[in-house]
Amino acid sequence: MSSLYNIGHYSLEQVRDFYDHAGIWWRADPQEPDTHAARVSIVNHLCGRNPLTVLGLGSGGGATAAAMADAGHHVTAVEFTLPRSVHAQQLSEIARSGSLRIIEADFYTVSLPEKYDLITYWDGFGVGTDTDQRVLLKRIAQEWLNHSGCLIMDVFNPFKASTDAGNAVRLPPLDGVPGSVEMFNRHIYDPVNSRWIDEWEPVDHPEQTMAQTIRCYSPVDLALLLEGTGLKIIRIEQDGVEIDLYSQGVTRDYSTLADWSYLVQIVKQ
């Protein structure tokens, strides 16, 4: 097991190990039950209700991809951790109004010849470095996104990550999840690199402690990250309320932008 702490730096192996264990500790789909329907509603709100070809990046256990397929969309979902992709594959075998295809692969290297009306990346952007993010964004712009299509994704918010730093809780095992154990969960924030660190320590086996680390971007930093990728932001919102990024020279109170992440809609330039 290659935790963030015993190798000392971010690596793809560490990411895979963390999410493989997450599938055991919290089951393949750890989201609240209404999360997937809410994401379908976001797509309806921003893209309309007509069937779309959809590429879901980092699709986890596949429940959101399945909900999108139930809404009539034709979904290709990419997930690189085995426990979650197996669960997603099982969901793809159920008849749906649209279609669902699961690909177990790393989306930095996977070959996808098709282009898509919509690309989604829910609750995962920022796992790698800035360079990793730019590589992915360029692939989206140059290889996968239709000229008139869009990217919708969650972006982790440094304000929330920094204000929550230092919090720790002791959590009991989840009912009905065989691999779940009692855990300490600690939140840490690295202000130099703007990274949230989410540490999980099994109470009875502290040697199995693992952590995920997510790069956090303020809206203006995200806009800078997109420079040179061929993409641009057309909408930022939180809880359905739009945030105006481009009012240059205007200072506003955005203290309500205090959740873990905000939503962005991005198109080709």
CA gap 78, 119 in Å, rounded: 11
For CATH 3.40.50.150, the residue range(s) in the chain are 35-156+216-268
Contacts for 204 with CB less than 8 Å, ≥ 6 apart? 181, 182
pLDDT in tens, 38-96: 999 999 999 999 999 999 999 888 999 999 999 999 999 998 876 677 778 888 889 99
> Quick one: three-class SS letters along 171-188?
ECCCCCCCCCCCEEEEEE
In CATH, the number for domain 35-156+216-268 is 3.40.50.150
Closest C-alpha to 152, from 185, 118, 127: 118
> pLDDT of 197-250, one tens digit each?
999 999 999 988 888 899 999 999 999 999 999 999 999 998 888 888 766 566
Query: pTM of the prediction?
Result: 0.91
Which tens digit of pLDDT belongs to each residue from 172-196? 999 988 889 999 999 999 999 999 9
